[in-house]
Chain A
Amino acid sequence: MTDDPLVRVESLQKYYYEQDTFVDRLLGREPQSVKAVDGVSFDIAPGETLGLVGESGCGKSTTGETLLALREATGGHVYFEGEDVFAMGDDDRQRFRRRAQVVFQDPYSSLDPRMTVGDIVAEPLQIHGQSDREGRRERAKELLERVGLSASQVDRYPSEFSGGQRQRVGIARALALEPEFVVLDEPVSALDVSVQAQVLNLLEDLQEEFGLTYLFIAHDLSVVRHICDRVAVMYLGEIVEIGETDDIFEDPQHPYTQALLESVPRAATSEHGRRVDALAGDVPSPRNPPAGCHFHTRCPYAREACREEPPAYDVGRNHEAACFRLDESHAYWESTPIAQNAADSEGADGVGESTGPDESPSEAD
């Protein structure tokens, strides 16, 4: 199944360059770049759901949009069924647009407030010149019913719907062209928990029914565990760990993944009063990421060797993580620990009251 991926992303890069002023150019200053996505690679097999998790601003959404060619990539390749998406001509690009869809996070901003939901759902058909007005309307009704709304609501405006219902409209629009691949960009983050479950179940049903392949972008780990087959963990524009969902959750290898999982509040009485060992410090600016392993400024195990870039180590069962600790013979073990992080961590329950989980902020980038 993994032999022939539907989507293959190869060292995808998206840099944003700050506007250089005339003076900058005059002085020959190097344009400063923000490395939103810095060399991300992964495969998604047909019918699979790959989760992409990480903190706000780590580049998950940018990855999703860049691989759909909604933003121009700075480097790297994306192959859709072996075809290079960035090298497609207009016709091929249009065919790709039909087969790969996206559902956005914000159900309020992603629906045009001046269009009826019927028009919104039928818009993809209109763009691709499919069927006539009446036919599109019928199809829109069908789709609305399929996502759990009623066909009689076809002439309503988005403002008359709740957040969960709007997200269903967004899903219906994404399904209108019968795509094979859907990028779900935090599709439930903006919804109430009870509604989240309904929408997640809907997404799972649709995947089964239409044989869809998902890239599921999220910061909520419990949601990811529920729906994803595999998970990729991103930190500052790079994937630090990728593997089967169960392996990631039961046996996380990268210190960042461990910290992320640790920070999830759990609903169990034995967990009551558990101290959450939050990560120290803030996410460094992607404008000037730390040299070497990006995580070394916050990693409890950081040593001098971490100022070099660690490669991804294979830890078996399709599970890879980028940390020197996975290589038992690496020079890492001989180098000196970086002081400021070690203080918080290795002294177990040290000083400094932690301020709670800052890992899963409710707002995304």
Chain B
Amino acid sequence: MVSPRTIRNLKREWRNNWLAKIGVALVVAILLVAVFAPLLAPYNPRSQSLEDSRLPPMGFTETENSTSSQFVNGSVQVVSERTTVNATWDHPLGTNQLGQDMLSRVIYGARTSLLVGALGTLLAMLIGVPIGLVAGYYRGRVDDALMRFADVMLAFPSLVLAVALVGLWQQAVWRIPDPFVAAGLAPSMPPDIVLPGTVIVVVGLVTWVWFARVARGEALSVREEEYVKAARSLGASDAFVIRKHVLPNSVTPILVLGTIQVAAIILLESALSYLGFSGTSLSWGFDINQGRDYLATAWWIATVPGLAIVLAVIGINLVGDWLRDALDPGLGGEGGSGA
């Protein structure tokens, strides 16, 4: 499937493109963090300690003005107190309003984001690519019917769809036992990985259209190639031609789009979590939502997961750009975002 020429192009782009290196470094780092979260996180991301709440991240001090009314000599006096809260190395990225360690929460949030990003993209591919290939290969009425259906899906606001599906399925959630915890390596960590099923399905239903469109375009051009004609002259069935010729020759732009869509889906997942549809509380979007109420007093609760999203999305997009430039110079800047 991967020809030597492809690898050559990838290497050439790799040498000339320092952005690609940054992107790969970011993605690899986030992947490692997500996989080894139980070993890396200093605290259980769910354990609360109210006395440590709203500690600022390292390098920042926070002054708190608290006012209280007190009876002094028979009259009520308003006393305002200024307390200075110092950051501690115990919580390098601070804590949220419940005293949960932000570093641990961001580390665990990477799991949710990458899982939803990868599985959502996979689902979108599984739906979109066959539809697109069939539409492009057969053209005519089949194409019209499938693509108009895709347009309808595209016109559907993803959040409304999410609300409707969550209403139907009650935030279906799969719990997968965490292998590190099960092996006894990190006994104090959450015992399972929460897979937000509804969010993955919603994300797949919202973004498959992009894959269908790209796959259709590729199929339209591949079907005119003489090797397709040759296969048909040998008596190959349509299914055989699509599977053996059209799909392998369409795969490059689909993969490139896939990387871009992972980033778009991470954003979409964050938006859904922010609105409370995720079904898990260990998500960057969920934390941003939590931090919204404290933006004036504890800005880091929303900012830290926000930065994590920015880094992940930039990293994945840089990898996508690298793949696109190396594999398919003709694709240009297209791709579209799902959010």
Contacts and interface: CB of A to CB of B under 8 A. Distances in A.
Contacts of A120: 227
B251 to A, nearest CB: 8
A94 B236 CA distance: 9
A133 interface: no
Interface stretch (A107-115, A136-144, A217-225, A345-353): A107-115
Contacts of A110: 226-227, 229-230
A210 B180 CA distance: 67
Contact of A97 (B5, B234, B240, B245): B234
A157 B234 contact: no
Interface centre among B4, B227, B229, B232 (most CB of A within 10 A): B227
A114 B233 contact: no
Contacts of A68: 233
Interface stretch (A98-106, A241-249, A306-314, A315-323): A98-106
Interface string B290-331: 000000000000000000000000000000000000000000
B235 A159 contact: no
Nearest to A69: B233
Contact of A173 (B4, B230, B240, B244): B230
Interface residues of B, number: 20
A337 interface: no
A94 B229 contact: no
A112 B234 contact: no
A70 B232 contact: yes
A133 to B, nearest CB: 14
Interface in A74-106: 93-94, 97-98, 101-102, 104-106
A123 interface: yes
B229 A104 contact: yes
Given A114-B249, A159-B5, A102 B233 contact: yes
A104 B233 CA distance: 11
Contacts of A111: 227
Interface string A117-129: 0001001100110
Nearest to B3: A157
A91 to B, nearest CB: 11
Interface in B228-274: 229-236, 240, 244-245, 248-249
Contacts of A105: 226
A170 B231 CA distance: 11
Nearest to A103: B230
B10 to A, nearest CB: 16
Contact of A94 (B1, B226, B235, B240): B235
B225 interface: yes
A97 B230 CA distance: 11
A73 interface: no
A94 B233 CA distance: 10
Given A127-B235, A157-B3, A113 B249 contact: yes
A123 B234 contact: yes
A177 interface: yes
Contacts of B226: 104-106, 109-110
A65 B234 CA distance: 12
A66 to B, nearest CB: 12
A104 B224 CA distance: 13
A159 B3 contact: yes
B253 to A, nearest CB: 14
B225 to A, nearest CB: 5
A112 to B, nearest CB: 4
A70 B230 CA distance: 9
A91 B229 CA distance: 20
A98 B235 contact: yes
A105 B226 CA distance: 9
A260 B225 CA distance: 31
A109 B225 contact: yes
Interface in B173-229: 225-227, 229
Contact of B245 (A112, A124, A159): A112
A127 B240 contact: yes
A50 to B, nearest CB: 18
Contacts of B235: 93-94, 97-98, 124, 127-128
Contact of B3 (A94, A97, A114): A114
A124 B234 contact: yes
A88 to B, nearest CB: 12
B233 A70 contact: yes
Given A114-B3, A128-B235, A159-B5, A102 B248 contact: no
Given A110-B227, A159-B5, A177 B245 contact: no
A153 to B, nearest CB: 15
Given A114-B248, A157-B3, A159-B5, A109 B227 contact: yes
Nearest to B229: A70
A14 to B, nearest CB: 15
A247 B233 CA distance: 33
Nearest to B227: A112
Given A102-B233, A104-B230, A112-B245, 13 more contacts: A97-B234, A104-B226, A109-B227, A110-B230, A113-B3, A120-B227, A123-B231, A123-B236, A127-B234, A157-B3, A159-B3, A159-B5, A173-B234
8 contacts: A68-B233, A102-B233, A110-B226, A114-B1, A114-B3, A127-B234, A159-B5, A173-B234
The 5 closest A-B pairs by CB, nearest first: A97-B235, A110-B226, A109-B226, A112-B227, A114-B248
